[in-house]
A and B are shown apart, each in its own frame.
Chain A
């Protein structure tokens, strides 16, 4: 608190009172110049002292203040305005004047030069004309101020209570807030360290920032990378056509590295390679009619129309997507597996496909781009010194995902029930596929006879480890001989496929079919893909099926009402 060096007159009580009033008024005007008048009404002062001294009433307080300040007229000036007594002083402790004298020392008041007879001529200053835009903007900004000024009372504004003034004078400097409150209620404290804020809220801020960057036409992006449009390398239409022709000639999707090396003579050792790679990828991404990104993070591959198709010709991609729709409901696995282990089913073997299930989602790289439809991967089979190009079709809408392009490998080396192992390599788009090789095994296994359009058993020799319960051997599933495939409409309905499997392999008694889960699983997977969880869901949710007394055994009761189809 500022200590006053003023001399107060009167009795001890009057001196104390005058000093306290002076201190309050000095606080009230703490932010103003030393000689600026500070005003306070007698009524406000009396209110303040009444609240401070409960034994005082308004009249007594006013009387005592008048007496005290009257004896200190060298500090306080008194004036009456519209019946109200106002006291004025300054921070220096002078009775305030209506127009304060200049507070600057005389030497800086620019005195006229000695012997000056006329006012000095000043050269008129030519101001640059102001743009009408800024004039209009300034006028618009002034309007609310003007409106509030008009609505204010013309007379002197009501003075705040002394206590309030004192408080506002003490807390005159408002501390700026450091917390941001997001619409969802999240509070971000910017007083924390940057790394801490990033760890706590980086994902949320990043999401908001990404939306803002997407709206900004000055920026260009590819995947997770962002840069300024003006700073990227320019690629003409001619160069893009050259890239398109090159990919078509090669007949396979090409990486940005290959394109840059072969057509632009840029290698990763070049200092501007990163910028070139970004420029090429961002530019090709815009040419959606001609180019399609089929890479994964770390391996940017580009395909064009007219490349040889990957995958089976026996089923359309849309049918496969529908067949695998149930995979969309699989919950994610807690940890990505180090390698993918999978037992082939008849359906997968026949069409050369693998499910993009929860395990595969955790194992294979996610799409780099939001609208990315597929990724091309290379599966090396070290046991054969061969490599296969596999297309990973990502789930879209209500269609599930899958991998295809393995028909030749499966038909040449494996059988349904075989265990395959897929492992990562150093390259993000290259994987190894292995199976456990065994001595020759000769079995009569189920195959589909395209000519007869029926399932038959045939003598097959294979050299891989299999899961016996998944092997569709004649000794176990002999009743499948000469069975016909289901119609496309039937195979689309999982419950129909399961019911059909019951009729093929189940033990019939009193019009009911009885089969174990272990028997049903390989058979339902002949016509369409099922995971074990999906099969169990169908068995529990559709009313024609019900669990038997024995664990793992289910009944099919034909004709029972189907309350709900899976």
Chain B
């Protein structure tokens, strides 16, 4: 039997509307900080955090 709008019901993994600043992508940021091997400034972390969020959303958009 058909299921109307099946794809539409499948929520994207990271839709921007689901992003919670300070929660979404924080684990990736901490992982990046660990890999950087040295303390980082808040400015650098903010820039990196934006890059992580952006990547998550755009990947989903392109998928």
Contact = CB atoms under 8 A, between A and B. Distances in A.
Interface of A: 28-29, 31-32, 36-39, 160, 165, 168-169, 171-182, 190-191, 194-195, 197-198, 201-202, 205-206, 208-213, 216, 218-219, 222, 224-228, 231, 274-275, 278
A38 B2 CA distance: 6
Interface of B: 1-8, 12, 14-17, 19, 21-23, 26, 30, 33-34, 38-43, 45-47, 49-51, 53-54, 57-58, 60-61
B7 A172 contact: yes
Given A37-B2, A180-B21, A278-B38, 20 more contacts: A32-B3, A168-B4, A168-B8, A175-B61, A176-B15, A177-B15, A190-B57, A194-B51, A201-B50, A202-B43, A202-B47, A205-B46, A212-B26, A219-B33, A225-B40, A226-B45, A227-B33, A227-B40, A274-B38, A274-B39
Contacts of B50: 190, 194, 197-198, 201-202, 205
Contacts of B7: 31, 172-174
19 contacts: A31-B3, A32-B3, A37-B1, A160-B4, A169-B4, A169-B5, A176-B60, A190-B58, A202-B46, A205-B46, A206-B46, A209-B49, A218-B30, A219-B30, A225-B40, A226-B33, A227-B38, A227-B39, A231-B34
Q: In the A-B complex, list the 3 residue pairs whose CB atoms are closest, starting with the nearest.
A: A212-B22, A227-B39, A206-B46
A178 B58 contact: yes
Contacts of A178: 16, 57-58, 61
B27 to A, nearest CB: 10
Contacts of B23: 212
Nearest to A160: B4
A190 B51 contact: no
Contact of A172 (B6, B26, B43, B54): B6
A38 to B, nearest CB: 5
Contact of B8 (A173, A194, A228): A173
B6 A31 contact: yes
Nearest to A164: B4
Contacts of A173: 7-8
Contacts of A181: 17
A191 B58 contact: yes
Contacts of B30: 216, 218-219, 228
Contacts of B45: 206, 209, 213, 226
Contacts of B53: 180, 190
A339 B31 CA distance: 44
A211 B45 CA distance: 13
Contact of B2 (A28, A175, A225, A274): A28
Contacts of B33: 219, 226-228
Contacts of A190: 16, 19, 50, 53-54, 57-58
B49 A205 contact: yes
A36 B4 CA distance: 12
A132 to B, nearest CB: 25
Given A28-B4, A31-B3, A168-B8, A209 B21 contact: yes
A182 B16 contact: no
Select the residue from B16, B34, B43, B51 with max chain A CB neighbours within 10 A: B16
Contact of B5 (A168, A198, A227): A168
B59 to A, nearest CB: 10
B60 A211 contact: no
Contact of A176 (B3, B5, B57): B57
Contacts of B2: 28-29, 31-32, 36-39
A174 B1 CA distance: 22
